[in-house]
Structure 1
Amino acid sequence: MYDIAVIGGGPAGLSAAVQARVRNKSVLVVSGDDRDNPLRKTQRIDNYLGFPQVSGQELLDRFQTHAAQMGAEQKTGRVLNIMSMGDTFYLSIGSEMEQARAIILATGVVWANKYPGEVELLGSGVSYCATCDGMLYRNKEVVVVGKAADAPHEANYLQELGCKVTYVSDKDPDGLRPDIPFVKAPKVEILGEGRVTALRAGSTTIPCEGVFILRPSMAPADLLPGLAVENGYLKVDRNMSTNLPGVFAAGDCTGLPLQVSKAVGEGLVAGLRAAEYLDQLQA
């Protein structure tokens, strides 16, 4: 079990990890594919103190190296849900499970808008994890809705399992197997009564029994039901505490301004406060 699990590997999450390690807490940082991190795509940053005209990739590389040197463990994966059981949080990361005594949410901006039919058919054909549920759809028609950089890889995995995959996205996929049909569509709708029967992608209707929706990350309020949200962002106090005990948040997920400096500062506070929270529990 880890003392603290940090969800998100951007400036806020890595800053929190460093500060928690300063307080000698064990830390796991869980983040998605680096290609989905908006900071890595930023060509030039001029307003981060002490690093004028630095690229986002260089800055993120420095942050990751610093956190690793401090002893924070970093894991690539998509956190699907978090369950609170007493003083322990259980994190479902793909098909794996990790435990922590405190949580820091640093997911960045994740829009929680759902596709039509997604909520109603979740668990009845709609899945967020190919490695978890892929075997259930062997020899069956499935659709992968690719919003994350690793979605083509997950689609390939499903095809190799024996699923009959169609890939749908608003962007051309990078690394998709040539034998997987690709439908380009900005909007999708999941169809079915009680079970998934098809997915409508633009003007194309694709019969299927399963739909895998692969976003870069889950919205924080979906990870932990009961989190207070205000104007679309997580509500926190000056200690970066949410309304749930043992759960802290930092960075873009807490609101404007969406800046690296703000994220790093909030991550520092969240990391220190999470460590203090654990010290108080032990006392």
Structure 2
Amino acid sequence: MSKNEFYDVIIIGGGPAGLTAGIYAMRAAMKTVLIERGMFGGQVAITKEVENYPGFQHIGGIELGEKFLEHAKAYDLEIREKEVAATEPGVDYHEVRLADGTVLRGHAVIMAAGGTARKLKVPGEHENFGKGVSYCATCDGFFFRNKVVAVVGGGDTALEDALYLAKITSKVYLIHRRDEFRGSRILQQRVFAEPRIEIVFNAVVSEIDSDAGGVTGVSLKDTKTGEERQLATEGVFIFVGFSPNNQLVPAGIKKNTTGYVITDEKCETSIPGIFAVGDLRQKYANQIVLAAADGCTAALAAAHYVESCKASGKCQQPD
């Protein structure tokens, strides 16, 4: 193994959390490498427009992701566009194995793999993403002011975002495949009391209809009778679940029942020296600004961990 394959900090993921961690790790004079297999910016890069990141009243998602990347590169952060195959915890150091067989070793690992919104997997969904199809009401709701939208889902997120959209739009169709919601009772009471929300029970979206300008409506199928019908709507907000990308999280790290990594306030996991940030870890909300904050916190904590470990002689670098 060449000497340059050992790092103070290894970051897995190039979204807002990972890139912010890279900035702060470099500022702390840590020898750092960031690994990203896909598009830098994470979920931000597939968001058409962002209007709730401080300092930018209006910016494209791809552009914001590029600014994160440019900022990190300004500190000469080493970046490898590779796929990670496994993360293996150790005592003196941890190992990150890449798909091409390369093994990177480091005292600290920051896992920033993010998460993925679950899809309906129906015709018109993928084609109209950013043109009426959204997975984030707080991100995109503003663009549907005084318009008719549909919300798909029956959990807390769907109910909360239907209520949020009801304040902005002229009408919200809340579509759920069952005859009762899974969300909390208090949210259900608020939804039932909101005049701008029309509830559509026992229905699934079979297709998202559109024209050259974007979404025009949804095709529904009754789960009991099989009857089909169309609803006219300019936006479709899908909240059928969000899955953390936890495939690379080592088995010894604690996760909650939905797969999110449990950390302390420093974003450190149950294994010392391994941190989880952004949409991968359990927290109150998933927002760009919170992901960036996680990256900052984890990098500062990782730098302190590495420095303390080296000072105590506990962290040994292999020959």
| Match of residue 63 from structure 2 | 58
Structure 2 counterparts to residues 73-88 of structure 1, below 5 A: 73-88=78-93
> Helix, strand or coil: the match of 1:236?
coil
Q: 2: distance between equivalents of 1:221 and 1:80?
A: 9
Question: Would you say 1:268 and 2:274 are equivalent positions?
Answer: no
Q: 1:251 aligns with which of 269, 278, 288?
A: 278
Question: Would you say 1:29 and 2:31 are equivalent positions?
Answer: no
Verify the 8 A CA contact 2:14 2:41 in the aligned structure 1: no
Verify the 8 A CA contact 2:110 2:298 in the aligned structure 1: yes
| Match of residue 125 from structure 1 | none
| Amino acid corresponding to residue 23 of structure 1 in structure 2 | A
| Amino acid corresponding to residue 279 of structure 2 in structure 1 | D
Structure 1 residue runs of 5 or longer lacking an equivalent are 113-217
Q: 1: distance between equivalents of 2:299 and 2:305?
A: 10
Q: 2: distance between equivalents of 1:69 and 1:55?
A: 21
| Match of residue 97 from structure 2 | 92
> Stretches of 4+ moved more than 2 A in 1?
35-38, 218-223
Q: 1: distance between equivalents of 2:110 and 2:40?
A: 22
Verify the 8 A CA contact 1:80 1:223 in the aligned structure 2: no
Q: 2: distance between equivalents of 1:76 and 1:251?
A: 20
| Match of residue 266 from structure 2 | 239
| Match of residue 77 from structure 2 | 72
Structure 2 counterparts to residues 187-266 of structure 1, below 5 A: 219-220=245-246, 222-230=248-256, 231-255=258-282, 256-266=284-294
- RMSD in angstroms over aligned alpha carbons? 2.2
Q: 2: distance between equivalents of 1:84 and 1:8?
A: 18
Structure 1 length normalisation: TM-score?
0.59
| Amino acid corresponding to residue 52 of structure 2 in structure 1 | N
> Helix, strand or coil: the match of 1:233?
coil
Verify the 8 A CA contact 1:6 1:106 in the aligned structure 2: yes
> Helix, strand or coil: the match of 1:220?
coil
Q: 1:111 to 1:4 in 2, by over 3 A?
A: farther
Q: Offset of 1:84 from its aligned partner?
A: 2.3
Q: Offset of 1:221 from its aligned partner?
A: 5.3
Question: Would you say 1:41 and 2:51 are equivalent positions?
Answer: no
CA deviation string 1:220-248 (max 9, x = no partner): 35441111101321101111110001001
Identity across matched positions, percent: 28
Q: 2: distance between equivalents of 1:261 and 1:38?
A: 13
> Helix, strand or coil: the match of 2:56?
coil
Q: 2: distance between equivalents of 1:266 and 1:36?
A: 15
Q: 2: distance between equivalents of 1:84 and 1:269?
A: 21
Bigger shift: residues 78-87 or 33-42: 33-42
Q: Offset of 1:33 from its aligned partner?
A: 1.4
Structure 2 residue runs of 5 or longer lacking an equivalent are 1-5, 119-243, 312-319
| Match of residue 19 from structure 1 | 24
Q: Offset of 1:34 from its aligned partner?
A: 0.7
Structure 2 length normalisation: TM-score?
0.53
Verify the 8 A CA contact 2:253 2:261 in the aligned structure 1: yes
> Helix, strand or coil: the match of 1:229?
coil
| Match of residue 109 from structure 1 | 115
Q: 2: distance between equivalents of 1:36 and 1:10?
A: 4
Verify the 8 A CA contact 1:7 1:29 in the aligned structure 2: yes
Bigger shift: residues 35-44 or 234-243: 35-44
CA deviation string 1:23-82 (max 9, x = no partner): 100111111111893211111111100011111111110111111111211111111111
CA deviation string 1:188-223 (max 9, x = no partner): xxxxxxxxxxxxxxxxxxxxxxxxxxxxxx943544
| Match of residue 181 from structure 1 | none
